Amino acid sequence: MSKWLDNAVFYEIYPQSFKDSNADGIGDIQGIIQKLDYIQDLGCNAIWLNPCFVSPFADAGYDVADYFNVAPRYGTNDDLKELFDKLHERNMHVILDLVPGHTSIAHPWFKESMKAEKNEYTHRYIWTDSIWEGFEGVSSIAGCIRGISDRDGSCAVNFFSTQPALNYGFAKPEKSWQFAVDSEEAMAAREAIKEVMSFWLNLGCDGFRVDMAGSLVKNDIDSRETIKLWQNFRAFLDMEFPEAVLISEWGEPDKSLLGGFHMDFLLHFGPSHYLDLFRSEHPYFSKEGKGDISEFVHKYMENYKLTDGKGLICIPSGNHDMVRIAHKLDEEELKIAFAFLLTMPGVPFIYYGDEIGMKYVENLTSVEGGYGRTGSRSPMQWDNSLNAGFSTGRKEDLYIMLDPREERPNVKTQSKREDSLCNEVKRLICLRLANKPLCSRAPVEFLYAKENAYPFVYRRIGDKESILVVLNPSKEQADCRVMVDPACEAIYSTNGVASIDNGSITAPPCSVTIFKIS
């Protein structure tokens, strides 16, 4: 397993919204290169780059038309290679977004697949035998494309109608058009994706975040065949690229990690109770004090035990698919939320702009299939200059609208204010990297995480010392009974220091205290 994940802190970049270097209103790779000093100074030592390949951009690049070339609006393959090299010069790493489950309808494979005469790509996608037959009752298929070519049949889609599903086979084939996972037709898709992986790993990327990783094999109710599929990918990487990292968008760590992924995300959908933390009606990290951490902890520990030390669980600040973490939390609450994110096991992922408290922009017209997600994809706010420093182009040429508020936060202002959210995130990352018990793989023990109660107390366990974390997002003082060594040393605090006395912890309102236990 890649050792660099032990101390990795990722920064997720949505390329069209990060930094525009050529005034066309769209962010690009050279813009990212211009801002590497900022990312490194923040403390992040790895980047996750959202899709940057050739695409018609019906779904923000998650509809790939060419896996082997950078979209011209972002630059060239040489630009991306330059980004890889400059990151490695800084001892930083980068993963690309891999979309193996579907392509765009503009992909040459699909254009060949649509032809009535049989060819190499006829079964690269999932087609029924008749235009009148769809995919009702078939799991991991969202709908179908019909009547767009001379070929008789309906083609399965994974999400939008522009995203035809690649054919990795069916766990239990029941019809003539359903191929087994080990069939020649299904094997062709996996070999094609191995070629994609090899191309970018040879160019210098350090691995992949895999989109919709659990959806590849169809009608795979228990995910058994999908797990085997990813074990095959992992075996290929172990042989050819043993240091390559795989991170899954799956949301079920017991399955993804068994499949060979190094890490799985807790997602804003599924059973994780992730939304209870920051985005529910009453977020736990809100000072109103009406949240509940208990169900999250219960599910987290259930997954944590199932992983059995095989991999990591990631709790991101957010991503391009959900409302921003600042949507319901103010700056004081965000500081406590980041204290949690940066002291938990697994590798932290910070979505660009979350570190300065960028807001979800309401009521934006959908861009690139974003719909309600578009408001979380607005341009990065660097300073108070034209277009918040994102672009020197005209305001009306910006691809996605800026947050229009005059009081919108920006990097320059926050970097000058000692008590800003951005500087607090920097301090927390520094604290994490300086203390081995806070590294990605050090065990966690939850000491107090009661239903509808505060504070939240847990211990990270190192070889020679431990770290005790006491979080009280509530605006009221909070007490609990926890037996810990009263001689432990407070190494970080906000809004006062929690006291430990005779088995009791008292946490001041809206406070974080982190203790070192030798």
Q: pLDDT (tens digit, 9 = 90+) per residue, 66-100?
A: 999 999 999 999 999 999 999 999 999 999 999 99
pLDDT by residue for the chain (518 residues), tens digit each? 588 999 999 999 999 999 999 999 999 999 999 999 999 999 999 999 999 999 999 999 999 999 999 999 999 999 999 999 999 999 999 999 999 999 999 999 999 999 999 999 999 999 999 999 999 989 899 999 999 999 999 999 999 999 999 999 999 999 999 999 999 999 999 999 999 999 999 999 999 999 999 999 999 999 999 999 999 999 999 999 999 999 999 988 889 999 999 999 877 777 889 999 999 999 999 999 999 999 999 999 988 887 777 788 899 999 999 999 999 999 999 999 999 999 999 999 999 999 999 999 999 999 999 999 999 999 999 999 999 999 999 999 999 999 999 999 999 999 999 999 999 999 999 999 999 999 999 999 999 999 999 999 999 999 999 999 999 999 999 999 998 887 899 999 999 999 998 889 999 999 999 999 98
Does one domain contain both 241 and 308? Answer: yes
Please report, for the domain that includes residue 459, its CATH number.
2.60.40.1180
Tokens encoding 170: 């069916």
Does one domain contain both 222 and 200? Answer: yes
Does one domain contain both 215 and 238? Answer: yes
- Flag whether 194 is in a domain: yes
End-of-domain residue from the set 413, 433, 453? 433
- Flag whether 108 is in a domain: no
CA–CA gap between residue 270 and residue 159 (Å, rounded): 17
Q: Write down the pTM of the prediction.
A: 0.97
Tokens encoding 53: 């390949």
Does one domain contain both 266 and 410? Answer: yes
Strand pairing class (155-157; 46-49): unpaired
One DSSP character per residue, 450-468 reads: -TT---EEEEEE-SS-EEE
Does one domain contain both 400 and 462? Answer: no
Please report, for the domain that includes residue 413, its CATH number.
3.20.20.80
Tokens encoding 57: 């951009």
Q: Tell me the pLDDT tens digit for each residue of 214-246.
A: 999 999 999 999 999 999 999 999 999 999 999
- Flag whether 148 is in a domain: no
Q: Tell me the pLDDT tens digit for each residue of 293-327.
A: 999 999 999 888 877 777 888 999 999 999 999 99
DSSP state of 353: T
Name the residue range of residue 408's domain. Answer: 3-101+186-433
Rounded to 5 degrees, what are φ and ψ at 494? -135, 140
End-of-domain residue from the set 368, 402, 433? 433
Does one domain contain both 488 and 351? Answer: no
> Residue 116, exposed/middle/buried by CB under 10 A (0-12, 13-18, 19+)?
exposed
Q: Give the residue from 381, 433, 50 showing the smallest Cα distance to 210.
A: 50
Contact 326, 360 (CB under 8 A): yes
Residues in the chain: 518
Does one domain contain both 419 and 458? Answer: no
- Flag whether 157 is in a domain: no
- Flag whether 150 is in a domain: no
- CA 213, 217, 220: angle at the middle one, nearest 5? 105
Q: Give the residue from 50, 49, 48, 51 showing the smallest Cα distance to 65.
A: 51
End-of-domain residue from the set 433, 458, 490? 433
Tokens encoding 120: 């190499």
Does one domain contain both 305 and 219? Answer: yes
Count the Cβ atoms, other than its own, within 10 Å of residue 235: 11
Does one domain contain both 377 and 359? Answer: yes
* 351 phi-psi bin (left φ>0, alpha ψ -120 to 50, beta other): beta
3-state secondary structure 122-157: CCCECECCCCCCCCCCCCCCCEEECCCCCCCCCEEE
- Flag whether 137 is in a domain: no
Does one domain contain both 368 and 450? Answer: no
CA–CA gap between residue 396 and residue 399 (Å, rounded): 8
Does one domain contain both 314 and 397? Answer: yes
Does one domain contain both 425 and 350? Answer: yes
- Flag whether 488 is in a domain: yes
| Element containing residue 312 per DSSP (H, E) | strand 312-314
- Flag whether 343 is in a domain: yes
Domain count along the chain: 2
